[in-house]
């Protein structure tokens, strides 16, 4: 939790650096409700209407189940509101107004839909996502940038598509890109100190020094902040440790 920036933000990291694992840990700690992944996003041949319908159905179901689960905290009955008779934007508009608990909205792999369609269809996917998810859910829930006490933050993670900054949610409802901020450097990926701790815990004494040296040399690593320390791919590090346990 100390790594969470508590601002509406987006963080970009390569595949295998533990973005989903971080959000899963956050969900487990905070009892965050999560719907199944929106994997069914490619229809061939591509149809903007079908994509929009599937996205709308997925978002509607996710929001509805979240609100049903937290009926008591959101005080729906006390306020005389009937979830089944409200549209998703209206539910997101009224949900935080009388809530007794704070909410963290997390979105993983926000850019996957853009990468799963041909470049000529990207603009149609972008339009659907902005209308249904950004405006219909994030915008309504956050009061369009007005910080509500019941919304701690919106936390978005993705790979990032080079040369397509227009596809990120940065700038919407005060979302900022903190990918290169020092405070976000450890959100995804392992530091050398963390790798050393893992090796000492799971690897036999006689193998530790050699394995640690090999991991630091071979595994994919990046410096996401200027002058910062290397951060290593969680997937590659764990594969090497597992092979030497």
DSSP structure string for 22-36: HHHHHHHHHT---PP
- pLDDT band, residue 200 (cuts 50/70/90): very high
pLDDT at 5: 58
Is 2 inside a domain boundary?
no
Span of 66-70, 127-131, 212-216 with lowest mean pLDDT: 66-70
Domain that holds residue 204: 192-242
Q: Are 130 and 198 in a shared domain?
A: no
Tell me the C-alpha to C-alpha distance, in Å, between residue 141 and each of 54, 63, 68, 107. 21, 11, 16, 14
Letter string b/e over residues 155-192, b meaning 16 or more CB atoms within 10 A of that residue's CB: bbbbbbeeeeeebbbbebbbbebbbebeebbbbbbbbe
Do 63 and 132 touch, CB atoms closer than 8 A?
no
Q: Do 134 and 94 fall within a single domain?
A: yes
Mean pLDDT, the chain, rounded, equals 85
pLDDT of residue 16: 93
CA 245 to CA 207: how far, in whole Å? Answer: 9
pLDDT over threshold 90, residue 193: yes
Angle between helices 205-218 and 234-242 (to 10 degrees): 150
Across 103-117, average pLDDT: 88
Who has greater pLDDT, 6 or 93? Answer: 93
Q: Are residues 108 and 205 in the same domain?
A: no
Residue of 189, 182, 179, 200 whose CA lies nearest to 235: 189
Whether residues 78 and 197 share a domain: the answer is no
Helix (H) or strand (E) holding 190: none
Q: pTM of the predicted model, to two decimals?
A: 0.83
* Distance spanning both ends of the chain, measured CA to CA: 29
Residue 213 has a pLDDT of 96
12-57 pLDDT per residue, tens: 999 999 998 888 888 888 776 666 677 655 566 888 899 999 999 9
Give per-residue pLDDT as tens, 136-181: 999 888 877 555 557 778 889 999 887 788 888 988 888 999 888 8
Predicted pLDDT at 208 = 95
> Do 99 and 78 share a domain, yes or no?
yes
DSSP reduced 3-state for 198: helix
Task: Provide the number of structural domains found in the chain.
Answer: 2
């Amino acid at each position: 939790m100390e790594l969470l920036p508590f601002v509406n933000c987006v963080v970009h990291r390569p595949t295998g650096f533990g973005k989903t694992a971080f959000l899963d840990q956050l969900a487990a700690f905070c009892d965050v409700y999560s719907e199944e992944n929106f994997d069914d996003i490619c229809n061939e041949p591509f149809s903007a209407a079908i994509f929009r319908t599937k996205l709308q159905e997925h978002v509607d179901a996710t929001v509805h189940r979240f609100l049903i689960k937290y009926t008591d905290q959101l005080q729906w009955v006390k306020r005389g509101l009937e979830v089944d008779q409200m549209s998703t934007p209206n539910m997101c508009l009224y949900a935080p107004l009388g809530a007794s608990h704070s909410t963290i909205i997390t979105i993983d792999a926000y850019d996957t839909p853009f990468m799963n369609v041909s470049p000529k269809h990207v603009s149609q996917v972008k339009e659907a996502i902005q209308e249904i998810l950004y405006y219909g859910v994030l915008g309504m829930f956050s009061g369009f940038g007005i910080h509500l006490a019941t919304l701690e933050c919106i936390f978005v993670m993705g790979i990032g598509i080079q040369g397509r900054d227009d596809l990120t949610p940065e700038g919407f409802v005060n979302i900022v890109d903190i990918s290169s901020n020092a405070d976000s450097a450890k959100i995804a990926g392992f530091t050398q100190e963390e790798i050393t701790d893992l090796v000492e815990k799971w690897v036999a004494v006689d193998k530790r020094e050699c394995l640690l040296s090999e991991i630091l040399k071979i595994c994919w690593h990046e410096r996401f902040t200027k002058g910062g320390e290397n951060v290593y791919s969680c997937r590659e590090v764990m594969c090497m440790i597992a092979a030497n346990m």
